[in-house]
Structure 1
């Protein structure tokens, strides 16, 4: 089960890592971001790829190309490989054709030079300088596909002819002969591998630019040091350490104190870790979870005909079904059951907390305004945390700091009165 719509992956998180130049690379990056990996070994493999790119960053930092060049080169090679463009490879006939069709000769030479220059830059500036041994075998394959393609077209020799202005009619025919041998499968493999390399370079740049750090995995620990949400301009960084039996975290704090943002920050660290990325924290040790469910903006479902409350019930039921099948689970419930009346909400939230607290290898974060839940502190497996807020001249001062214990501060009435609404309501009509 994966429910992470509320993290706004493509709108908020993708831009943190998207430095791609082509639509193919961006599409692959979206796929990577939207799909958690299936095991810790797969996560370690992806981490190793990114760490190898970091070791080669002095070579890759300036990786780029012109979008228009890429598109034109790709279209040309695709057309050649699929024989939509038929090249004359017999030297005598080519010379005769070029003699009588100057525009075609100029066009073919121009396209050939564009192909040569495009791959020469990729080779001389980047691929030929990489230390491939750093990379896991799965990623070495992509690098070898690109380098093999460059070698097959003898790009270095062709580029030298172009530089010396010796890429003449004869050289154009010889290069056409190489192009004519390309198969659709070879060309497709080239673009797929180039997109993969570029997508991972883009991820690496995002990680380095934002100074994220790689997490470790331990099924008996949940520890986030100095974590934050990267979309905040000047974020307050918090730390969170949970024992293996702290199955339910009950989070309290007044409105506007930052509970939802806190939950998003924790969720983002967990999610990014599960796609093999570094996380917005100075250090992180977390379990591997089979199921991730984030419910921060649970709304009515018009399509399914569910009310807000029923949507919450259905979401909770899906989570419980997963954990009852033996899966480890990380779940967020922001103000659980706020879609029903306070009496019902208190009763069924207490029942939910008591039930969830018995599940080991799972962590559930529940934010609430229900003061009656304070007594759940006596339930084994429940940890109560709050977000700091003080009053200064009857105005709330938010610290955005995570702290142990329960928050009973009520600022609703204070703000209501500060705005002079009671007096306004008492005025004569």
Structure 2
């Protein structure tokens, strides 16, 4: 089960990895980040593909091409393959036509040269220079689709002839015959492989650009070292290390201390780890979770008639159904039950936290403003308390955004209320 709308994968995470040159490859990047492999081994397989790209970075670092050339080559090949453009492949007829018509000769030559230059660059600069053995066997089949398609044409000889101004009518006819032999399904397979190739390259470039690291899956515990939210320009890094018996984290801290951002950063790391890509941390070790559910910006639902509190109830119910299933569940609750009164919130938050400890194979992060909850938390193992450090200087809060163990009882609402002069403004004139 996946419930991660609050991470805004398409709007916030995809741009971190999107260095593509065309819309189809961009869509492939989106799929790579949105379609999470259903097992840990398949996640590792995806990692190995990206590791193959990174191992080939000396070849692929400057992968590029002209977007307009790609668009025109793709359209021309599609028109030829579908029959919308008919090439004369009879040697005698084609030769006569091209020799007698300067316009036909010029148009055909321009199209063929564009196709040859695009495909030859892909072949000679990138595909032929790859060591296919650094990629897992499953992905090698996709690379071989590229290799074999490009080998159908005499690209090296034709490219050399073009450079020497020796691209004769006879060569044009032979190339037309090669183009005409392309089956629609072969062309579709080639472009699919090309777009996936560019998507993996783009994700690998994103990892290189942002210095993301591959996670390691393990049976128990959670280790995030120097993690951060990748959209912050000057992020403060934090670490969270949980032992095998610590499956519930209760996070406290005053408003504006950065609780939501920290929770979202943890969620981003867990999500990207399961997508098979690098994470914004110096080290990441975690179990494989079959369900990931993250609630940071829950809102009322006018369509379903839910109040904010009812939305929280339904979200918790969803998490519990997932946790009661066969696999592991990872869930984040930001300001749990803030949609109801304090007395109700205290009672049901206590019941929720205590109940979550019973799902030993799953992990839960819960932030709260209910400071009185500290004395009510069960003392048994399973619950870890963390807070985000904040101190008062000259009566004003100073935020460090640092995560530390313990409980924060700092209240700054009244201080900010007074600092902004609201008491005075509330006095009658």
Q: 2: CA distance between counterparts of 1:95 and 1:277?
A: 53
- Alignment map for 1:53-202 (pairs within 5 Å): 53-202=53-202
Match of residue 284 from structure 1: 284
Match of residue 371 from structure 1: 371
Match of residue 408 from structure 2: 407
Classify the secondary structure of the residue corresponding to 2:165. coil
- Alignment map for 1:207-286 (pairs within 5 Å): 207-286=207-286
Please report how far the alpha carbon of residue 101 of structure 1 lies from its aligned counterpart in structure 2 after TM superposition.
3.9
Classify the secondary structure of the residue corresponding to 1:234. coil
CA RMSD of aligned residues (A): 1.0
Q: 1: CA distance between counterparts of 2:340 and 2:32?
A: 38
Contact 1:295/1:333 (8 A) holds in 2: yes
Contact 1:301/1:308 (8 A) holds in 2: yes
Classify the secondary structure of the residue corresponding to 1:223. strand
Q: 1: CA distance between counterparts of 2:330 and 2:158?
A: 55
Classify the secondary structure of the residue corresponding to 1:250. strand
In the TM superposition, structure 1's runs of 4+ consecutive aligned residues that sit over 6 Å from their partners are: none
Contact 1:225/1:238 (8 A) holds in 2: yes
The C-alpha deviation readout for 1:338-384, integer Å capped at 9, x for no partner, is: 11111111111111111111111100000000112102152431111
Classify the secondary structure of the residue corresponding to 1:75. helix
Please report how far the alpha carbon of residue 91 of structure 1 lies from its aligned counterpart in structure 2 after TM superposition.
1.2
Please report how far the alpha carbon of residue 408 of structure 1 lies from its aligned counterpart in structure 2 after TM superposition.
0.2
Alignment partner of 1:326 is 2:326: yes
Contact 1:219/1:361 (8 A) holds in 2: no
Contact 1:17/1:205 (8 A) holds in 2: yes
Q: 1: CA distance between counterparts of 2:40 and 2:21?
A: 30
Contact 1:354/1:379 (8 A) holds in 2: no
Contact 1:251/1:385 (8 A) holds in 2: yes
Match of residue 362 from structure 1: 362
Please report how far the alpha carbon of residue 406 of structure 1 lies from its aligned counterpart in structure 2 after TM superposition.
0.6
Contact 1:377/1:384 (8 A) holds in 2: no
Classify the secondary structure of the residue corresponding to 1:166. coil
Q: 1: CA distance between counterparts of 2:153 and 2:221?
A: 52
The C-alpha deviation readout for 1:175-226, integer Å capped at 9, x for no partner, is: 0011010000110010000011100000000001100111111121200111
Classify the secondary structure of the residue corresponding to 1:279. coil
Classify the secondary structure of the residue corresponding to 1:345. helix
Match of residue 11 from structure 2: 11
Contact 1:377/1:383 (8 A) holds in 2: no
Match of residue 394 from structure 1: 395
Q: 1: CA distance between counterparts of 2:378 and 2:415?
A: 28
Please report how far the alpha carbon of residue 99 of structure 1 lies from its aligned counterpart in structure 2 after TM superposition.
4.0
Taking structure 2 as the reference length, the TM-score comes to 0.98
Match of residue 293 from structure 1: 293
Q: 1: CA distance between counterparts of 2:140 and 2:276?
A: 18
Contact 2:221/2:246 (8 A) holds in 1: no
Q: 2: CA distance between counterparts of 1:379 and 1:390?
A: 30
Taking structure 1 as the reference length, the TM-score comes to 0.98
Alignment partner of 1:33 is 2:33: yes
Please report how far the alpha carbon of residue 307 of structure 1 lies from its aligned counterpart in structure 2 after TM superposition.
1.0
Q: 1: CA distance between counterparts of 2:104 and 2:298?
A: 61
Alignment partner of 1:384 is 2:390: no
Contact 1:221/1:286 (8 A) holds in 2: yes
Q: 1: CA distance between counterparts of 2:22 and 2:85?
A: 23
Classify the secondary structure of the residue corresponding to 2:414. helix
Match of residue 419 from structure 1: 420
* Structure 2 residue ranges without an equivalent (≥5): none
Q: 1: CA distance between counterparts of 2:99 and 2:204?
A: 50
Q: 1: CA distance between counterparts of 2:90 and 2:326?
A: 67
Classify the secondary structure of the residue corresponding to 1:403. strand
Classify the secondary structure of the residue corresponding to 1:386. strand
Q: 1: CA distance between counterparts of 2:303 and 2:28?
A: 30
Please report how far the alpha carbon of residue 95 of structure 1 lies from its aligned counterpart in structure 2 after TM superposition.
2.2
Q: 2: CA distance between counterparts of 1:186 and 1:326?
A: 42
- Alignment map for 1:41-52 (pairs within 5 Å): 41-52=41-52
Classify the secondary structure of the residue corresponding to 2:314. helix
